[in-house]
Structure 1
Amino acid sequence: MAKRLAVVPLLVATILSGLVVSAAPASAAPIGTTASCYSFGRTLSQGASGEDVRQLQIRVSGYPGYGGVLAIDGQFGAGTKAAVTRFQQAYGLGADGVAGPATFAKLSSLEDSDCTPVNFAYSELNRCNSTWSGGNVSAAQAKANALVTMWKLQAMRHALGDRPIQVNGGFRSVSCNNAVGGAPASRHLYGDAADLGAGVHGFCVLSRQARNHGFSEILGPGYPGHNDHVHVAARSGQLWSAPSCGM
């Protein structure tokens, strides 16, 4: 009986050996880490391009440096290298501006299965319309813009000692924006804005810190209608105004 059973592993091994030919080549496998919602399959450095570069740019968009904004275009240029370097420095990694296994592992640890950073959620950025529709861009674009905003906030949160940042709202449809008296061209209509409560930091701390994390629009205390929150967003051109905070 023992001899008969021994035949089974031999048959299985024979069958499996025939399947190896159809398996994916080793080079197609992730290089040491699989992010919660995205697998990086190669080391990324300056000169690279593609969807994997774009995914990396989303996740390091909060590290462009003071007053900077990182282009999310799938092209690994000097700006992306600098952002990757700052991210690596922020988390005590080897800071060479090259995204490899250690960088991807850290990004994975900061990410939930829906691609949002672990400390923020789509629900915080959309208290208006769960379908993300009705704004000034498509629902898909509004949601994509909100994702980038969350990664910027994640970087900002880490810089503030990993203490919570209170998010009171983000995307608005036109009808929601009108209902709250929002400006006709509000960035909330594009999904790339967030309104922050004072929380544990205070409005001026938030206003000043946001300057380092890719927000081209920062409106805080002293700016009309913003004494009870800090508004951060993306826009063409820079508008920073929080007079009560010396901005």
Structure 2
Amino acid sequence: MRVNTLKRAAVAFALALPGAAIATVVAAPAAHADGCYTWTRNLYQGRSGEDVRQLQIRVAGWAAYGAIVRIDGRYGPETAGAVKRFQSAYGLRADGVAGPQTFAKIYNLQDNDCTPKHFSYTELDNGCGKGGWSGGPLSSSATRENALRTMWKLEALRRGLGDKPLYVTSGFRNIACNKQVGGASDSQHLYGTAADVKSGTSSLCRVARTARTHGFSGIFGPGYPDHDDHVHVDSRRENNSDRTSNSRSWSAPDCEVG
């Protein structure tokens, strides 16, 4: 842990230096913070690459109302806007440029396996009590990647609810499990892109309303059939249009969400 901390500090220092100095300091292979991902340059509109894609995964939950952040590795206006909202939410200078302070906050939020600190793969893989990511329409690696993206959106939603506990009651379900619980044949749970949640401190209606500004294109809560004891959130808009509608679908009639 001490080594990772020192390496992370060195990278942050390098990012803060003028361009010529950065080239000198970061010439060696980049260290990975906490066994996950480390950024070695400032990111802003016009930049592209894997480092942008990794950033997008972590700020996708800070999309504008009803919007999404595409995970495409291109730093455009929607990514800059999400970075600004992330920065504002955590008391950083909200300029839309991802630099040392923004990365330091992300490092603080992520665990060794790249999951956000308040959620885990175990929570998202709880369909019918069996572990693993196989048995769905996608490969296990693609499903697991989707679950990671879902967790980062949930981390943003949790922050939007005042950083109070948010509990996942159902995440990924394989095809057999989905049938067992009576899930829709095209359920987003099959792809790792959905979670059913409830809060220990916030009403379900507050959760459903707040989710509208955290990158979820599917939201179903109180008043929608069989959703009076939880809120379902998913990322159907980013999912393949052959499997589901490419637009958002919100319904929580008791909360006037729709």
Shorter-chain TM-score: what band?
0.7 to 0.9
- Work out the CA distance in 2 between the residues paired with 1:30 and 1:102: 21
User: What is the deviation of 1:122?
Assistant: 0.7
**Equivalences for 1:10-49 in 2 at 5 Å?**
26-28=25-27, 34=33, 37-49=36-48
Which sits farther off after the overlay, 163-172 or 32-41? 32-41
Aligned-residue Cα RMSD (Å) equals 1.8
Following the alignment from structure 1 to structure 2, what is the Cα–Cα distance between the partners of residues 53 and 185? 31
Measured in 2, the distance between the counterparts of 1:139 and 1:51 equals 21
Q: Which amino acid aligns with 2:135?
A: G
| More divergent stretch after superposition (95-104 vs 28-37) | 28-37
Which residue in 2 is equivalent to 1:9?
none
The answer for the alignment partner of 1:242 in structure 2 is 252
Which residue does the alignment assign to 1:120?
119
Q: Would the aligned equivalents of 1:167 and 1:194 in 2 still touch at CA under 8 Å? A: yes
Whose radius of gyration is greater, 1 or 2?
1
Q: How many residues end up aligned between the 2 structures?
A: 224
User: 1:147-166 to 2 correspondence within 5 Å?
Assistant: 147-166=148-167
2:204 maps to a residue whose letter is: F
Native 8 Å contact 2:124 2:172 kept in 1: yes
CA contact (8 A) 1:219 1:230 kept: yes
- Identify the residue that residue 100 of structure 1 maps to in structure 2: 99
Measured after TM superposition, the shift of residue 201 of structure 1 is 1.1
Report deviation, 1:226. Answer: 0.9
Q: Counterpart in 2 of 1:21?
A: none
TM norm structure 2: 0.83
Deviations 1:161-187 (A, max 9, x none): 110001111101000000000000000
Equivalences for 1:27-106 in 2 at 5 Å?
27-28=26-27, 34=33, 37-106=36-105
Please state if 1:142 is matched with 2:143: yes
- What SS does the corresponding residue of 1:197 show, helix, strand or coil? strand
Output the amino acid matched with 1:242: A
Equivalent residues of 2:36, 2:114 under 8 A apart: yes
Q: Distance in 1 between matches of 2:177 and 2:52?
A: 35
Q: Is the 8 A contact 2:197 2:231 kept in 1?
A: yes
CA pair 213-201 structure 1, distance change in 2 beyond 3 A: same
Report what 1:132 is aligned to. 133
Q: 1:74 to 1:35 in 2, by over 3 A?
A: farther
Pick which of 55-64 and 124-133 moved more.
Answer: 124-133
- Percent of matched pairs sharing the same residue: 55
Structure 1 52/155 Cα, relative in aligned 2: closer, same or farther at 3 Å? same
Distance change (3 Å), C-alpha of 1:205 and 1:30: farther
Aligned to 1:227: 228
Query: Residue type matched to 1:214 in 2?
Result: G
Q: 1:238 is aligned with what amino acid?
A: R
**Counterpart residue number, 2:189:** 188
Structure 2 unaligned blocks of 5 or more: 1-22, 237-245
